[in-house]
Structure 1
Amino acid sequence: MKKIFSLLILCISILIFSQEGINFQQTSFKEILAKAKAEKKIVFIDAYASWCGPCKLMEKNVFPLKSVSDYYNTNFINARFDMEKGEGPQLAMKYGIRSYPSFLFLNGDGEVVLKNMGYMGEDDFLTIAKEANNPKYATSSNKELFEKGEKDPEFLLNMMRLYADNDYDLAKKVSERYFEVKKNDPLTKDDLGMLLYFLKSPNDPNYKVFVSKKAEIITLMSEDIYKQFDANIKISKILETSLDQKTGVINDAYFYKNAIPLIGKDDAETALNRMKVLFYPTVSNYTGYEKAALEYYKNSDSFDTEELIKAAWIFSEHVSNRISLKKAEEWAEKAVMKSETAENTYILAKLYAETGNKDNAKMYAEIAKNLAVTQGKDATLATKLLETLK
């Protein structure tokens, strides 16, 4: 009898323990959205990776807290997805998840209501939940709310951030309403960043804000930088006009004729090469890209290594000229020196292989493979490269 009683207590303890923490649904993403829509609730998704230390700390230290679990279990449909398994990779691509942990709050249509990332404590984790838990988000999509004339500045600011990458035109319209609503309020540094991000032409409604608030803006940046931005905004229209959307050809002569009087020859050349570097890969004009990138990244110390490694990758895939590939090697070397990741070292190894430096190619392919295995990433590319180098 004593043994039965002890076993019963153990079972009850296990049951109680198992009920602690956030109640994550064990079902498909589609079913989770359907449940959220039916219950008129927001979905909370913990987007994690099995190797991620901060993810494990959230699971250990924050998710089990009573204040956290009570709030999340009461107000949300909760789910967890490993971003490298099952439905995870598809969700990571859909929602632009590049770091872990990432926290998504979605409505029943799968639209992002709020997105955040990184380890956070109890108070911050509850704060983002309360911000996302607005009844109107559960019953209407962001776009519906915007179309109905929603003018809440926090809503508009959040919507700008959410759509900036995947629907720029919509985010730009949201920004125009945001700055109209805030026209009598002082600009913050974040506001100025948003204003400049969505300002592409003197014909944009936000350009009036940029001009009318000049005195205020030059307290946040120097007048010289303000003038530079103004010149870039003006030539952006010239860049747009220089591009034939049907053929993908950029009219250099037209651009220089109109841009040099505004910003000078050197800055005009830099602006044109920057446009080509951004545009040519989208239309598979890799010959034009190669020429522009070699000129644009000539002084590679002036550029972020993430930008350089992207250029190095494009060269490794689409460029055959050995002199050009040697230049891409330099870009990849800078990136690896700053951050030795599986991706960076693989690109460097691939470039070494293509320029005939077999010893370095083997060494860095091996490093890339080991890093991928250690970090729980796919080592297929590095493994295949090693096989070709035997």
Structure 2
Amino acid sequence: MKRSFFALLSFLLLHTGFAQGIQFESAENSWSTILDKAQSENKLIFVVAYSLSCHNCEDMQKKIYPAEQSGAVYNGKYINVQLDMDKAEANDFANKYGIMAYPSYLFIDGKGELVHRAMGKMTMEQFAAMGANSTDTAHQFFPLKNRFFQGDRSPELLKRLTLMAMDLTDYDLLGSVYEAYFSTQENWLSKENMEILLMGLKSSEQSTFPFLLKHKKDFIEAYSEAKIFNLIDEVVMNSMSLYSYNYEQRDFDLTLAKAYGLKYLPADLFDQYWLLFKINQNMMKKNSSELLINATRYFDQYPCFSGHLYNNVALAFYEETKDKVYLEKALSWALKAVAIKDMFQYNDTAAALCFKLGNKEQAKVYALKAIEKANETGEDASETKALLKKIENL
């Protein structure tokens, strides 16, 4: 007879004997024992769901859970459990509680009901605040969510739920509570509301999108051109892509994408984003002739603050053309990417373009810089090292 996951859970519980940090339950205690303990002591179970391949999990394990401040908040207040979600037996638990990312933090009552959840890497301050507040129904995700669906539209509840939905990437809920929250607000340009507006903006169909466009100068003054322009780019491109993707054909319908842009974008922005959408399609389908024309036109006409876009187009030019004029343009874009963020991939693209243009000295400079950055981040620079050998052998 197949044994249930909950009977086997004791084999997954990780006992960590921190002297001052969080005291996790012993591996000898089964899930049913933990539930009984939670009921008898009238406590919530605090579950840390982690994966050994998760860098954020590792950081939390090394820096946060062993801290004296963590122990002071969680020990005695919760029944603390760690679960290795890489184990096959953990699938039932993950499905039951909807765990899709790591680390995930679950607060479960003695009946096995989930009352609150959070996820992701946290600072000590954030982690301590979560532990301090999670026994209070005013801070628990599921009670707040139930209040919303029962008709509560108080601004404080809507704000809390909006922020929680963002943290949990619960975009279905976010779409509802975010709009409901802003319908209660008179001043969308307050510092707090501007922050919430930007964090929750995911679609050009949201009422906050035309507001952002109208008040772009205010947001740029409060943040930066790069942050605001890149967010607008991301929102528009994601919206057009989602609307136009044909799942049966596994391709994008350009007619639908264009119709969406005409419907939701002001006239002065439509040409820009329709062109950018076509550039992305050109790169995906390796349509080099159209890409060379469209990308050149785009960067000549419109502002760009995305190192990622500059680099991707520059790399595509490197791969698709031998025309020196186009390669010079590509190099200028690669260098703009490096200026935005001095990172491995961008320096690597600049090195490759310099090499293809016959500029040995500059190619060597960017190749060495790329290798240096790769060493700092642990990325694979083997191809860059091979390029450096070619450069040095010239």
Same fold (TM over 0.5): yes
Percent of matched pairs sharing the same residue: 17
Corresponding position of 1:19: 19
What is the CA–CA distance in structure 2 between the aligned matches of 1:344 and 1:355, rounded to whole Å? 17
Corresponding position of 1:366: 368
The Cα RMSD (Å) is: 5.8
On the 8 A contact 2:352/2:363 being kept in 1, the answer is: yes
Deviates more, 1:279-288 or 1:361-370: 279-288
1:330 pairs, out of 310, 329, 332, with 332
Deviation at 1:327, TM superposition (A): 1.5
Corresponding position of 1:226: none
On the 8 A contact 1:37/1:107 being kept in 2, the answer is: no
What is the CA–CA distance in structure 1 between the aligned matches of 2:70 and 2:326, rounded to whole Å? 55
Q: Which amino acid aligns with 1:277?
A: I
Corresponding position of 1:189: 194
1:349 aligns with 2:351: yes
Corresponding position of 1:90: none
Given the superposition, is the C-alpha separation of residues 155 and 180 from structure 1 closer, same or farther in structure 2, using an over 3 Å criterion? closer
On the 8 A contact 1:332/1:347 being kept in 2, the answer is: yes
Given the superposition, is the C-alpha separation of residues 300 and 350 from structure 1 closer, same or farther in structure 2, using an over 3 Å criterion? farther
What is the CA–CA distance in structure 2 between the aligned matches of 1:359 and 1:302, rounded to whole Å? 28
Corresponding position of 2:118: 114
On the 8 A contact 2:47/2:83 being kept in 1, the answer is: no
Question: Which whole-Å deviations, capped at 9, do the CAs of 1:147-206 have from their partners, x for residues lacking one?
Answer: 99998532343224543xxxxxx61553224423663344421343356x24434xx6x4
Given the superposition, is the C-alpha separation of residues 21 and 172 from structure 1 closer, same or farther in structure 2, using an over 3 Å criterion? closer
Question: Which whole-Å deviations, capped at 9, do the CAs of 1:79-111 have from their partners, x for residues lacking one?
Answer: 899xxxxxxxxxxxx85x9xxxxx753689xxx
Deviation at 1:358, TM superposition (A): 3.5
Q: Which runs of 4+ in 1 moved over 6 A?
A: 35-39, 132-140, 142-151, 217-222, 238-244
Q: Which amino acid aligns with 1:384?
A: A
Structure 2 counterpart SS, 1:303? coil
Given the superposition, is the C-alpha separation of residues 242 and 144 from structure 1 closer, same or farther in structure 2, using an over 3 Å criterion? closer
What is the CA–CA distance in structure 2 between the aligned matches of 1:304 and 1:272, rounded to whole Å? 17
Corresponding position of 2:88: none
Structure 2 counterpart SS, 1:363? helix
What is the CA–CA distance in structure 2 between the aligned matches of 1:150 and 1:284, rounded to whole Å? 51
Corresponding position of 2:179: 179
Question: Which whole-Å deviations, capped at 9, do the CAs of 1:315-355 have from their partners, x for residues lacking one?
Answer: 44555544333222112212324543222222211222333
Given the superposition, is the C-alpha separation of residues 157 and 241 from structure 1 closer, same or farther in structure 2, using an over 3 Å criterion? closer
Given the superposition, is the C-alpha separation of residues 240 and 67 from structure 1 closer, same or farther in structure 2, using an over 3 Å criterion? closer
1:157 aligns with 2:157: no
For structure 2, the residue ranges without an aligned partner over 5 or more in a row are 1-15, 39-44, 86-99, 109-115, 221-232
Deviation at 1:123, TM superposition (A): 3.7
What is the CA–CA distance in structure 2 between the aligned matches of 1:329 and 1:341, rounded to whole Å? 15
Q: TM-score, normalised by structure 1?
A: 0.55
1:291 aligns with 2:297: no
Deviation at 1:126, TM superposition (A): 0.6
For structure 1, the residue ranges without an aligned partner over 5 or more in a row are 1-15, 28-32, 82-93, 98-102, 164-169, 223-231
